[in-house]
Structure 1
Amino acid sequence: MSSVLAWIDHDSKARERTLRILSLFQEKESRDELGLGSVRDSFADRLFPGTSTIQTRLRYMLFVPWIYHSLEEKRLPAENFAIQADLLERGLVQPLMDSDDMAGVFGKTAGKSLKRLPSSVYWAGLGVWGIRLTPFSQDEYHRRIDEAYRRRHTLKALEKDARARGDDVDQELRMATLSWHPRLPEPPEEFPSKIDFALSREEAEFIRDRIQVACPNSLLSFLVMHCEPADTHAPWSHSDYASFSDQHKELLTHARLFSEVMHGASLSYNVQLARLRNHDDLVAEHQASFDEWTASFPLEDVRAWSVSRLWELTIDHSHSVTPQTRSFVQQWIDHTRKSPKDLLSNAEALNLIKRREMKLKGTRSRFRNQRALEQWGGYSGVGRLVYRWPNVKVLLNDLYQGINREQVC
């Protein structure tokens, strides 16, 4: 059975837990040096809708609507709305830093001077999960909040008239005036001056239900409803993989093979740059990584892989996979299928990587811009694609601990 991250109150255990969660945030997705982001994100959105690689902890999915809902309750006008929300978000930093669990705090280093607020990171996910009902972008929501107040005022008048006639108010009309889900749990009494990342059972059940309703066919929903958190390196290594649906298994198989194949392309890119820099130690290091990749490469699986089916699965209106990207991927797969171990001596395969990077980066290409090459840190996109799994693991663990928390009477 896979190991499970667990909340334990003893100090030494708490520190160990925090360090383990912090280590997950270091497993970032590969940098998109070769323009594979559209395929990667299409897989990730199908598997784990509403998530992103910059989300840290699950309770931010409640912190954000709690702050905005409190401002709406006060009928704060549009001219002050965004300013006050900004202040309240920045005010979360210190209370979270004062808690026993600081892993994933936005502003841990910058404090109140943080440049990216949680609301901007979680806004899309809040909409995908159906917690946010307003259809507007965050900026437009700020600007149009006075309109929302007017619609609610009109609704109250309609409800009064309806009650006088003995009629019911149209539920759709009522929902259309809401910015946030009507069953959003109430925040703790001391919020936001005192807060931590531990979800109450009610909060966890609310988020679980939102995911189930909004994303019922996703792997995320299945994991939320049926599985314990698994500390594995990739979603296809999950201990409950055998119980996944055929649809999820197919999606994960294509995601895994795409990750395996294109990892070799990223390693080739790094080897070539190290050679160009005449950095023998880096060449040796990246060559060793390449050799490890070829030694474990599932060649027969890749040769039997239906690439046409890959493109069918990654057709997504939100992530346009260009013909150029499809051509690059297909050519690299073709070279890989012939002989993975010869890719670093195959002139066509090497030039394919070089041309791709030059096309994407233009004058900033490290192959043609000496300054860009000199500024290269020695590692670019060497991590395997795992489709936000390190972040998803933390979110799932937060949810699992909340679901299993003793209910406070």
Structure 2
Amino acid sequence: MSRDAIGRAEAQLDGHSEGVRDEIGFLLIHQRYADRFFPGTSVLHTRLRYVLFVPWMYEALQRETKVRSVQRSVERAEVRLAGRLLDAGEDGVIGARRFPEKSNQPPSLIYWTALGAWGLLGPTRDGEHLPTRSRIHATLSSATRTTLDDDGVPLNPSYLPFDKLMPDAPDDFVGDGELTFVLLLDEKKYLRKRLSDVRSVHHPGEPSLLAKLALLNAVPDVEHCWDSEILKYAGRDRDALLRAGQAAALAVIGRGVYAALVEEIRECNDSIQTSRLHRDKLPLILAEHAEEASKLNLLGLQMDGIDLSEPFSAVLTETQDWIHRKNGPVRDLLDCYRRAECRRKGQRARLSQSLKGRELRRVWENEKHPGAKPLHYRWHNVHRLLNDLNGAE
């Protein structure tokens, strides 16, 4: 398997690659809306200058004439990059926790989709699709075996499909000194132009919400992307953004319900002494989010391109009905949540009636299970990326 494939497999097995645990299926809503409003982004994105660091790194590698392994050279370059950023005291350094070891999800993997979505990575020479990292590595690998002319220049230099208008790497990019995330003025202007050209997924002739926010001198400092300060820039995405906020409220209740159900059947069905941590938190979650969650029109989710096939649609419908009834026992939702988790996780479902499910509940520690939080649609990551553009005028 390629390292890209291993990284994707690890993220999926982890179950919360987008920053949320996904026992029931709420991640589908999270991903669809996040991709709609903020194309190319990821919950793993930290700082905007990485979208320049990655192409610059490959261009520097292209200039090397003695490369035994492109893959290992890229890994070393990314470790070196992390070290230089850490030396400068920067926050948001990818690989900081594993340094000086290589990161399982390095910058070139994390930002590759963004490079394509934001126009920094062009199509292959056949013009049919965007190149993968592995294809770039293969191209550079073959180039290292190319015959050189008398001056040591490759007779058939490798082709890197990065945007030719991209600013050149600063003189200090290649070296061992400190490096920062601070964008130079020409880099800010270039990236603002690239981001402001990102089209809407649902309205291709119009700019995305990401593009509109990239044009602001300062992005509103608000907690959620459906805040009124952001809604006024949403245009035709306004109704979808409001539904996203309502869906986030329904999801936080659903995730609270799930944890409460595991506690409930662990204690009542399995006869394992269990504290009421999540069951006692559920009324507080309802008090804060029930009103917004009850407003969500599930048909509106389908209009927004979110697949509400069974059994996930039953979870949403029955959870809303349960909210409307008020004060019903959480166990009323057990059957639909059990079906959804078993469909999604199979033998790894904690709510399963099987012996495996009982064993999973036995080793489950409710104190370590994260508290329920609303879906965020990558807003805090996006906000930080856009803040790096401040002063681009």
Q: What band does the TM-score fall into relative to the shorter chain?
A: 0.7 to 0.9
Q: Is the 8 A contact 1:43 1:387 kept in 2?
A: yes
> For residues 99 and 247 of structure 2, what CA distance do their matches in structure 1 show?
39
- Cα 1:245–1:94 shift into 2, 3 Å: closer
Is 1:295 the counterpart of 2:277 in the alignment?
Answer: no
- Asked if the contact 2:226/2:241 (under 8 Å) is kept, the reply is yes
CA distance in 2, matches of 1:276, 1:388: 33
List alignment gaps of at least 5 residues for structure 1: 1-27, 154-176, 316-320, 405-409
Partner of 2:182: 198
CA separation of 1:95/1:146 partners in 2, compared to 1, >3 Å: closer, same or farther? closer
Distance 1:392 1:76 in 2: 38
Change in 2 beyond 3 A, CA 1:52/1:240: closer
Q: 1:332 aligns with which of 285, 304, 318?
A: 318
Q: Percent identity?
A: 26
Name 1:87's counterpart in structure 2: 76
Structure 2 alignment gaps of length 5 or more:
1-17, 124-129, 149-158, 200-205
CA contact (8 A) 1:51 1:125 kept: yes
Matched, 1:98 2:80: no
Are residue 137 (structure 1) and residue 132 (structure 2) matched? yes
Q: CA deviation at 1:74?
A: 4.0
Q: 1:118 to 1:287 in 2, by over 3 A?
A: same
Superposition deviation, residue 363 in structure 1? 1.7
Q: Is the 8 A contact 1:50 1:128 kept in 2?
A: yes
Corresponding residue for 1:355? Answer: 339
With over 3 angstroms needed to count, the CA separation of the structure-2 counterparts of 1:104 and 1:371, relative to structure 1, is: farther
Q: Tell me how far apart the structure 1 counterparts of residues 144 and 308 of structure 2 sit (CA, whole Å).
A: 43
Confirm or deny that 1:307 pairs with 2:298. yes
Deviation at 1:206, TM superposition (A): 1.0
Please report how far the alpha carbon of residue 92 of structure 1 lies from its aligned counterpart in structure 2 after TM superposition. Answer: 0.8
Give, in whole Å, the separation in 2 of the partners of 1:40 and 1:325. 18
Matching residue within 241, 254, 260 for 1:252:
241
Partner in structure 1 of residue 256 of structure 2? 267
Candidates 157, 161, 169, aligned match of 1:187: 169
Aligned to 2:50: 60
In structure 1, which of residues 200, 208, 213 is the aligned counterpart of residue 197 of structure 2?
213
> How far apart are residue 372 of structure 1 and its match?
1.9
Quote the Cα distance in structure 1 between the aligned partners of 2:182 and 2:392: 11
Tell me which residue corresponds to 2:28: 38
SS at match of 2:229: coil
Change (3 A) 1:231 1:240: same
Aligned equivalents of 1:84, 1:112: Cα separation in 2 = 15
> Which moved further from structure 2: 86-95 or 188-197?
188-197
Please give the alpha-carbon distance, in whole angstroms, between the structure 2 residues aligned to 1:306 and 1:119: 39
Shift of 1:322: 6.1
Task: Work out whether 1:375 is the aligned partner of 2:363.
Answer: yes
Aligned partners of 1:261 and 1:336 also within 8 Å = no
1:364 alignment counterpart = 348
> What one-letter code is carried by the residue in structure 1 that aligns with 2:349?
S
Q: Does 1:390 pair with 2:380?
A: yes
Partner secondary structure for residue 342 of structure 1? coil
Whole-Å Cα distance in 2 between the matches of residues 146 and 93 of structure 1?
24
Aligned residues: 341
After TM superposition, give the deviation of residue 238 of structure 1 in Å: 5.4
SS at match of 1:331: helix
Deviation by residue 1:271-296 (Cα, 9 ceiling, x = unmatched): 1112234387742x323432123223
380, 390, 399: which one pairs with 2:389? 399
Q: In 2, Cα distance between the equivalents of 1:44 and 1:29?
A: 12
Secondary structure of the residue aligned to 2:215 is: helix
In 2, distance between residues paired with 1:325 and 1:147? 49
Determine whether 1:107 maps to 2:95. yes
**Cα RMSD (Å):** 3.0
Per the normalisation by structure 2, the TM-score is 0.77
Distance across 2 between alignment mates of 1:325 and 1:76: 56
Partner AA of 2:161 in structure 1: S
Q: In 2 relative to 1, CA 287–226 (structure 1 residues): closer, same or farther, beyond 3 Å?
A: same
Secondary structure class of the residue paired with 1:112: coil
Secondary structure, aligned partner of 2:25: coil
The Cα offsets for residues 60-88 of structure 1, whole Å up to 9 and x where unpaired, read as: 111101101222244677x6333222211
Structure 2: distance between partners of 1:49 and 1:343: 40
Amino acid at match of 1:403: A
In the alignment, is the contact (CA less than 8 A) between 1:36 and 1:325 conserved in 2? no
Q: CA, structure 1 residues 377+144, in 2 after alignment: closer, same or farther (shift >3 Å)? A: farther
Rounded to whole Å, the distance in 1 between the matches of 2:236 and 2:319 is 24
SS in 2 for 1:40: helix
Using the alignment, how far apart are the partners of 1:282 and 1:239 within structure 2? 41
Amino acid at match of 1:291: P
**Compared with structure 1, are the counterparts of its residues 341 and 258 closer, same or farther at alpha carbon in structure 2 (3 Å cutoff)?**
farther
Deviation sequence 1:289-308 (CA, Å, 0-9, x none): 32123223454x65554322
| Conserved 8 A contact 1:230-1:238 | no
Moved more, 272-281 or 354-363: 272-281
Which structure: greater helix fraction? 1
CA–CA distance in structure 1, aligned partners of residues 327 and 217 of structure 2: 38
- For the Cα contact (< 8 Å) 2:48–2:388, is it kept in 1? yes
- 1:35 Cα deviation (Å)? 1.6
